[in-house]
Structure 1
Amino acid sequence: MIYQRNLIKELSFTAVGIFVVLLAVLVSTQAINLLGRAADGRVAIDAVLALVGFWIIGMTPLLLVLTAFISTLTVLTRYWRDSEMSVWLSCGLALKQWIRPVMQFAVPFAVLVAVMQLWVMPWAELRSREYAEILKQKQELSLVEAGRFNTLGKRNGRVYFVETFDTESGIMKNLFLREQDKNGNDNIIFAKEGNFSLNNNKRALELRDGYRYSGTPGKADYNRVSFRHLSLIISTTPKLIDPVSHRRTIPTAQLIGSSNPQHQAELMWRISLTVSVLLLCLLAVPLSYFNPRGGHTYNILIAIGLFLIYQNGLTLLFEAVENGKIHFWLGLLPMHIIMFAVALILLRVRSMPARPFWRAVAESLTPKGRK
Structure 2
Amino acid sequence: MVFQKSLTRELTLTALGVFIVLLAIIVSTQAINLLGRAAEGQIANEAVAALIGFWTLGFFPVLMILTVFVSVLVVFTRAWRDHEMVVWLSSGLSLRDWIWPIMRFTLPLAVLVAGVTLFVGPWADQRSQDYAEIIKRREEISAISPGVFKESASSSKVYFIENYSGLHSAATNIFMQDMTEGKVSTIFAKRGYISIKPDGERVLVLEDGKRYVGEPGQADYQIGEFKRYTASLGDSQVATGPASNRQSIPTRALIAGSGNPEYRAELAWRLSMPFSCIFLALLALPLSYYNPRSGHTYNLLFALLAFFLYQNGLTLTRNWVGQDKVGVWAVALVHALMLAAALLLLKHRDRPQAPFSQSMRLMFSKKR
TM-score by length of 1: 0.83
| Overall identity of the aligned pairs, in % | 42
* 1:298 positional shift: 2.1
* 1:320 positional shift: 0.7
- Distance in 2 separating the partners of 1:246 and 1:147: 33
Match of 2:271 in 1: 271
- Distance in 2 separating the partners of 1:161 and 1:39: 17
Match of 2:107 in 1: 107
- Distance in 2 separating the partners of 1:151 and 1:80: 59
Summarize the Cα distance change of 1:232–1:148 in structure 2 as closer, same or farther, 3 Å threshold. closer
Q: Deviations over 1:291-346 (max 9, x none)?
A: 222222222222112111111111111111111101122x3211100011111111
Match of 2:142 in 1: 142
Say which is worse superposed, 194-203 or 81-90, in terms of deviation. 194-203
Match of 2:251 in 1: 252
* 1:48 positional shift: 1.1
Match of 1:355 in 2: 354
- Distance in 1 separating the partners of 2:317 and 2:127: 28
- Distance in 2 separating the partners of 1:281 and 1:171: 58
Q: Give yes or no for contact 1:203–1:236 (8 Å, CA) kept in 2.
A: no
Summarize the Cα distance change of 1:152–1:280 in structure 2 as closer, same or farther, 3 Å threshold. closer
Say which is worse superposed, 16-25 or 320-329, in terms of deviation. 320-329
- Distance in 1 separating the partners of 2:3 and 2:283: 19
Q: Give yes or no for contact 2:31–2:48 (8 Å, CA) kept in 1.
A: yes
Q: Give yes or no for contact 1:194–1:205 (8 Å, CA) kept in 2.
A: no
> Are 2:169 and 1:171 aligned?
no
CA root-mean-square deviation: 3.2
Say which is worse superposed, 289-298 or 5-14, in terms of deviation. 289-298
Q: Give yes or no for contact 2:210–2:223 (8 Å, CA) kept in 1.
A: no
Describe how 1:248-327 pairs up with structure 2 within 5 A. 248-256=247-255, 258-327=258-327
Task: Report the secondary structure of 1:171's partner residue.
Answer: strand
Summarize the Cα distance change of 1:208–1:161 in structure 2 as closer, same or farther, 3 Å threshold. farther
> Are 2:38 and 1:38 aligned?
yes
Of the two, which has the highest radius of gyration?
1
Say which is worse superposed, 112-121 or 128-137, in terms of deviation. 128-137
- Distance in 2 separating the partners of 1:147 and 1:105: 55
Instruction: Kindly provide the amino acid, as one letter, of the partner of residue 291 in structure 1.
Output: N
Instruction: Kindly provide the amino acid, as one letter, of the partner of residue 240 in structure 1.
Output: A
* 1:188 positional shift: 10
Match of 1:156 in 2: none
- Distance in 2 separating the partners of 1:317 and 1:147: 47
Which ranges of structure 1 fall in alignment gaps of 5 or more residues? Answer: 154-158, 181-186, 214-222
Summarize the Cα distance change of 1:192–1:69 in structure 2 as closer, same or farther, 3 Å threshold. closer
Q: Deviations over 1:70-119 (max 9, x none)?
A: 00011011111101112222233321100000011110111011001100
TM-score by length of 2: 0.83
Summarize the Cα distance change of 1:340–1:232 in structure 2 as closer, same or farther, 3 Å threshold. same
Match of 2:88 in 1: 88
Q: Give yes or no for contact 1:19–1:63 (8 Å, CA) kept in 2.
A: yes
* 1:245 positional shift: 2.1
* 1:137 positional shift: 2.0
Instruction: Kindly provide the amino acid, as one letter, of the partner of residue 48 in structure 1.
Output: V
Say which is worse superposed, 110-119 or 258-267, in terms of deviation. 258-267
Instruction: Kindly provide the amino acid, as one letter, of the partner of residue 108 in structure 2.
Output: P
- Distance in 2 separating the partners of 1:210 and 1:17: 61
Number of equivalences? 348
* 1:3 positional shift: 1.2
* 1:226 positional shift: 5.5
Match of 1:333 in 2: 332
Q: Give yes or no for contact 1:205–1:234 (8 Å, CA) kept in 2.
A: no
Match of 1:369 in 2: 367
Task: Report the secondary structure of 1:208's partner residue.
Answer: strand
Choose which of 194, 197, 211 in structure 1 pairs with 2:193.
197
Say which is worse superposed, 169-178 or 17-26, in terms of deviation. 169-178
- Distance in 1 separating the partners of 2:134 and 2:365: 62
Describe how 1:3-152 pairs up with structure 2 within 5 A. 3-142=3-142
- Distance in 1 separating the partners of 2:337 and 2:154: 56
* 1:53 positional shift: 0.7
> Are 2:242 and 1:243 aligned?
yes
- Distance in 1 separating the partners of 2:206 and 2:43: 24
Q: Give yes or no for contact 1:283–1:343 (8 Å, CA) kept in 2.
A: yes
Task: Report the secondary structure of 2:205's partner residue.
Answer: strand
Summarize the Cα distance change of 1:190–1:357 in structure 2 as closer, same or farther, 3 Å threshold. closer
Which ranges of structure 2 fall in alignment gaps of 5 or more residues? Answer: 166-170, 214-221
Q: Give yes or no for contact 2:43–2:143 (8 Å, CA) kept in 1.
A: no
* 1:238 positional shift: 4.1
Instruction: Kindly provide the amino acid, as one letter, of the partner of residue 270 in structure 1.
Output: R
**Where in structure 1 do 4 or more consecutive aligned residues deviate above 6 Å?**
144-149, 187-190
* 1:264 positional shift: 1.0
Q: Give yes or no for contact 2:188–2:211 (8 Å, CA) kept in 1.
A: no
- Distance in 2 separating the partners of 1:290 and 1:77: 6
- Distance in 2 separating the partners of 1:245 and 1:190: 38
- Distance in 2 separating the partners of 1:34 and 1:319: 28
